[in-house]
Amino acid sequence: MFKWFPGIDRRIRLLSKRIFFNRYPQGFLETNWSEIRQSLVAHYSLCIVISLITYFLPNSRDFEDESLILLQSSRITLIVLSLIFLWRHARKKDWVPKKLEFYKVWTSSTLLISFFPFLYSDKVHYDVYLHQASAILLSMNLLLWLTTTTAVATNLAFCFMFLGVCYLGDSPVEAMQEFPILLTYLFVGTFGNVIMNYWRTMDYRDKKKLSGAVLRLKAKNLHIRMISNLDDLTDLYNRRYLIEQFDIFKKRARRHQFQMALVILDLDHLKEINDKYGHMAGDDALQTLSAVMKSRVRSTDICARIGGDEFCVLLDSVDPKSLKTLCESLRKGVESHPLSVRDPNDKPVNITVSIGAAILSYDEDFTFDDLYQSIDSGLYKSKSSGRNRVTIVEATKLNTKVDLSASWPEEVRIYK
């Protein structure tokens, strides 16, 4: 029958497999755990309501005493079972998803089986019992988050048991007149189960894909942010990131009451190295200095390149003695690391660095420019003293009252 539509048989097989033999994706039950538990509570509450309605149904006058006792006992048993199942589910908090799936199936099946004595013994209310049992079956299909395979298997088992009860009854023909109603319930339940499972799994997969895309986007944004804060050549932080961290360090120093420090390193004779050995040697000098800085500071300190040959280290929780020791370690470390190039005499080319530093107390209110200007004067002293020196100065306020326009000739000024 499929020869007129090439490939349709394969598509039908794949669609049927996806609908009727589709398992929930990994992590699906764990993600929707709270909704599943709430749905199970709603299902058992419905079963309790149906059980109470069954209990208060009026009895037929032609009942014998033994049959009446059996019927009332069955009604009470149905109510007690519904209450026990609801209490057990509410009390147990550490459900394993697979065990909860088994618990949902066998408890609901037990409640359905409890209706068959009513169908067999109370012929007067046969249609009422059938509708009530079908309502529980419909609730199983729609509320219990069963896979389609489990739902179809439960529906078929209920059909076979219903046919068995009809065959054992006194009037199977009259009982079979209610069979179309049962089929309607089963069709609605199965169709609703298929639609809801498809919607739930597709929604779960879409959310999972979206969360994965969000995580990748966050990772890329973090990578972009890291790149924007780093210097390409030396792999140190740039000036903008250093100034941001300076404000953070100040707040932390004020909160925990410790001293912070700023160290500025200026590479000596970088222009001469570029002119004599080329810019590759100059880049090698910058990378050597950055490697020495990263190897001698703590992981909590900030190393940055703030200019062409100017570098900076931002330190927290430091005292004058340890600051002096660190600066000397940086100076000697740069001096003892020759470049990869050699001079005309085939000797390694060594580089040196001039260093200026200042300590900022937690109760002092200095800006980055204040501290930078103070250290710049110390750095100038190191340069003028022959370079390859360390000078530690006291921080002073930046003079912002200088009138820069006074250095311009009067006739150059357009606005007065």
Rounded distance, CA 69 to CA 7, Å? 61
Catalytic residue among 268, 301, 309, 370: 309
**If you compute the radius of gyration of the chain from its CA atoms, what whole number of angstroms results?**
42
If you ran DSSP here, which 8-state letter would residue 403 be given? -
Of the candidates 169, 113, 119, 168, the residue with the CA atom closest to the CA atom of residue 136: 113
DSSP secondary structure, 243-264, as one string: HHHHHHHHHHHHHHT--EEEEE
Q: How far is CA 11 from the centre of its chain?
A: 37
| Burial bucket for residue 345 (CB in 10 Å: 0-12, 13-18, 19+) | exposed
Q: Which residues pair with 230 in a beta bridge?
A: 237
Active site residue 309: yes
Taken in order 108, 109, 112, 114, the sign of the CA dihedral is negative
If you ran DSSP here, which 8-state letter would residue 24 be given? P
* E-assigned strand segments in 97-241: none
Task: Report strand pairing: 260-267 vs 353-360.
Answer: antiparallel
Helix, strand, coil proportions of the chain in percent (round to 5)?
65, 10, 25
* C-alpha distances in Å from residue 413, one per residue of 242, 400, 401, 404, 407: 37, 21, 20, 12, 11
The residues that are catalytic are 309
